[in-house]
Structure 1
């Protein structure tokens, strides 16, 4: 009797049973406890991007495994049996080569696509974290700050509620070119478009304005009174040169420290501000405590 058969008959079943019993005991012990937190948590900066990055990581791992393991599986299925029989035909070997090329080629193509998407999301995620950290400092000035606000089929990166107004802040992360020491990456804003060194964008401006309008309408409906919302676009890491004015205010990351201290804003009464905060907070508490999620698994 071969060693593999002995393992399959006498070693593997007890291991499976022991593993199952240990898992069952662990689940029983965890089921008797619960998290000390009694409510869901607020969404952190970049929560949606973090979830997308996690999902992409699974895809990257899958296709990386296909690139590494795929050729071995193909040869094990088509060539190895014929080799053991001592009759490897040129046709079977040729079919195996074609399949390996197809599997590796397809997997590599998908892998590169997902890795490019990962790079894009990482830049955006880092930008949202940086902007979130800058905005959190506004709490010292009496503002309430919420992140990754869930709207209708989209998210508003940050919502700032202060005595001088409500702000819907959209963040855009853009990788910078490598410049000579002492030179800053600059984007020009003329009130209608963002002019980067080698490209021009208008969609971020339109997106920030749409989101501010949506938030204004939702808050007005939720609170039963008119709520004005100002549209803000943050581009951390870039120097913003303003050559015109538009419906959207564009800031670099560092400039957000002055968001609620600039003049020309209307004041919001304390009771009205609290009603706005309550509505936004209820919508942002969507993160179940990690312990509770792990118990359910």
Structure 2
């Protein structure tokens, strides 16, 4: 199979894995325009071996419609669906999961792409859970588990970030003492670590019983999406003291640090399409990379699953 490096583009990945795209159904969260999710959706639609169905689940459908319109302009044969979901509202997630399964009873690939980053003020969701942990991890935990009936034999990709190195999950204080100990980058680091641990937990529970492969992918950094629109360049300086405080380690950005809009989709698309990848896995710069211990050790994997079940109020037995 082909090999890629940190400069790979979504076009190169799509060309390499056309056989894994043809006739498949892809569900992508948070793919409003402009975003990594929207780039993945339109890249998939450009494959000559076209997918059968691309379903986008997003909080703001007005941002999704231009993406669906572009897909239809590229290939009218591709079925497109939009489902409204607020990943910080558990009632919304339960409703949306039913709508997604009704529209796509068989899901080949679920890409959990929605999220937020480094919210400057401590904010909680409707369930009183810190908003970065809620939107990046917990909403996807609930949605993915509810979609398992349609995912048999499929694949789940959680978008994470090398920002996971900033902080492990604070299992005993995920809400930062109700904000008293909050800082934006520790909140982000916790959520991104959870994305990786969740991929390990899903594989542990669902690979043998349901044939579901799970991966976490760090796409890299890009200034064209809206993820960091609320931040200044000076705000990113907070990463380094937060990482040192939480882990005792120095934070170092990987190279290449910045990627073009088409490069930013390459690594998660490889995670979604490469049939030779062995689950669970963490991908960075287009290749499998071993994450730090706090993002893969068995105790943390199980503790996150148990905490997540408690916070969504539902146990998932497989």
Fold conserved (TM > 0.5)?
no
Q: In terms of Rg, which structure is larger? A: 1
Q: Taking structure 1 as the reference length, what is the TM-score of the superposition?
A: 0.24
Larger fraction in helix: 1
Q: Taking structure 2 as the reference length, what is the TM-score of the superposition?
A: 0.23
